Amino acid sequence: MAGKTMTGMVIVVPAIAAVLAAGALVNHVTLAPGRWISIIILLWAGTIPFTLFGLGNGYSAPTRCTATGGPAARHERRSRDDAPSGTG
């Protein structure tokens, strides 16, 4: 589970970088290097509860709900198969 948590936390790195870059480039935010580092750490640490919540939902969901495409894809496929062909 630790590997999956780290994967979830690595995925947010580009988003954090985009927020910090937007602050620096668009709004001309200037901070001391220590402040930038502390903001990065705090933003990254703030993703931990959401990562764990997502993992918990994934592990508690039935296997049929976590398949590729999810239930919506299966519903669409079933609806298409059940549709009248028009050649009555």
Summarised one tens digit per residue, pLDDT across range 15-60 is: 999 999 999 999 999 999 999 999 999 999 998 888 888 888 777 7
Q: What per-residue confidence (pLDDT) applies to 23? A: 94
* Distance linking the first and last C-alpha atoms of the chain: 54
* 6 has a pLDDT exceeding 80: no
- Average pLDDT for 65-87: 57
Q: What per-residue confidence (pLDDT) applies to 16? A: 92
Lowest mean pLDDT among 7-16, 38-47, 62-71: 62-71
> 44: burial class by Cβ within 10 Å (0-12, 13-18, 19+)?
middle
